[in-house]
Chains A and B, each alone.
Chain A
Amino acid sequence: MKRLITLLIILLLPACTSVKPWEKGILSKAEMSLDPLPMESALSSHIYFSKEASSGGLSAAGGGCGCN
């Protein structure tokens, strides 16, 4: 799977175009944010952490809890 992600990086990055600030109208929409509802996603991550053996991702781990 790491090979697949590496392949995606190789394929996607050369496709980048230089987007000027005034061309970012769509990118500025709330639904284009990487995390449109951060409190909702924080809760979901915490529940998954309490019920699955995996955890972690795009943030530092933060504090633990007795749930897992």
Chain B
Amino acid sequence: MSSSKILSVLTASALAIPTLSSAADMPTQNSLSYVSSFYTDDAISGSQSIDGKEHDRYDIKVNQFHVMAPISEDETISFDYIHDAMSGASPWSVAPVGTTNKVIMSGASIKDTRQDTRINYTKYERFRTSGITFSNSRENDYNSYSLGGDLQLSLSDKNTVIGAGASISWDTIKPTQGIYANLLDGITKENKNTYSIYGSVTQVIDKKTLVQFGASTSFHTGYLSDAYKMNDKRPDYRFMTTTNIKLVYFFDQVDASAHLEYRYYKDSWAVRSDTIGLTMYKNLQGDYQIVPSIRYYSQDAAKFYNTNTTQASTAQYYSDDYRLTKYGAIGTGLKVIKRLSDITVYGSFERYNTNNDFALGANSKNNPGLVSYTRMSIGIEYKF
């Protein structure tokens, strides 16, 4: 190969190769994506429910649409729409029967829909990317507006990206009456505000290794109880922090990349959690990828979690919500991806199992309302 040809190949490669972060480079094509998902919660068995009968929980169908288009040589606009349709039943409470706790389920089947709309504007400059996002999530009994902004700065030959962002959301709940009227204690309309910030540093370690560090803080204030639980009165503020690390490494020998990530979470309700995930993207012949993944999650109970209703009645705050107990969860997944030049299609499967005994450390909590589920998705992305 002549020196001029080598030079032209290297130049073309340098121009074609993006940097380390997907958000730092201006997309040059329109993209259109659609994902359809279905997930179903495991039923509450007769041995777990207070009436001795098996109770179905939620089945949820999700449709996601995404459109992104460049509107100038350095600006894009994207639009996302999500539609959830859910039906089923939900735990109202737990109550002790002998030495074990049993679940009290909502009697009738619940049907609801959620529509989430999101619009983003992003401007790309040589060493800086900035964006603003407005979103609305709407359900029969819940409405949320959110506004957020983010900024990314590229440094050191784009081997370092510093990111930061902030958002605020205004939520309103108007509980459905009907079968819940006796639970609501006169509540007809409540508000909740959320303020959050985050920061991150993404660094190229070498030709096949990336690492990302991040931290975030959120402050929630307003009505934070669950209106549809029998025994639930929570503080009207919650301060949350997270610390993250993610490592991405490419294995030449097996033509696969590994994504290893860890998150530490802590909040003012004394909930602490550890989450660790490992995902492998293994390239196969014919532009296929197979993607196994595993995720482990463990949380401590909130300081006011209590299934003893006698004690709870004299406490300032109390809740027997299964989501606030001490427990652990193991999620396993498998995806198959087919990548062509303009089209990416994939199918995915996930199984999520929860158990009080999966939590880190000794656990005396027992909530039979813990939920496990199975999810399936298919998706397609078209660039043009």
Contacts and interface: CB of A to CB of B under 8 A. Distances in A.
Contacts of A29: 250, 257
Given A15-B205, A35-B22, A43-B35, A58 B216 contact: yes
Interface of B: 10, 13-14, 16-22, 33, 35, 37, 39, 62, 64, 66, 112, 114, 116, 133, 135-137, 139, 141-142, 144-146, 148-150, 156-159, 163, 165-167, 169, 171, 173, 192, 194, 196-198, 200, 202-208, 210-214, 216, 218, 240-246, 248, 250, 256-257, 262-265, 267, 269, 271, 273-275, 281, 283, 289, 297, 299, 302, 323-324, 329, 335, 337, 339, 344, 346, 348, 350, 352, 354, 371, 373, 375, 377, 379
> Chain B: interface secondary structure?
strand
Contacts of A32: 208, 210, 248, 250, 257
B274 A51 contact: no
B66 A65 contact: no
A40 B35 contact: yes
B347 to A, nearest CB: 10
A35 to B, nearest CB: 6
Interface string A1-43: 1100100110011011111111111111111111111111011
Interface of A: 1-2, 5, 8-9, 12-13, 15-40, 42-44, 47-48, 51-68
B242 A57 contact: yes
A60 B198 contact: yes
13 contacts: A15-B206, A19-B206, A20-B157, A34-B210, A56-B242, A57-B242, A60-B196, A60-B197, A61-B146, A62-B135, A63-B116, A64-B192, A66-B173
B271 to A, nearest CB: 5
A3 to B, nearest CB: 11
Given A19-B204, A25-B17, A65 B157 contact: no
A15 B114 CA distance: 46
A40 to B, nearest CB: 6
B210 A37 contact: no
A24 B21 CA distance: 12
A65 B137 contact: yes
Given A26-B207, A34-B210, A64-B144, A59 B198 contact: yes
A68 B171 contact: no
Nearest to A60: B167
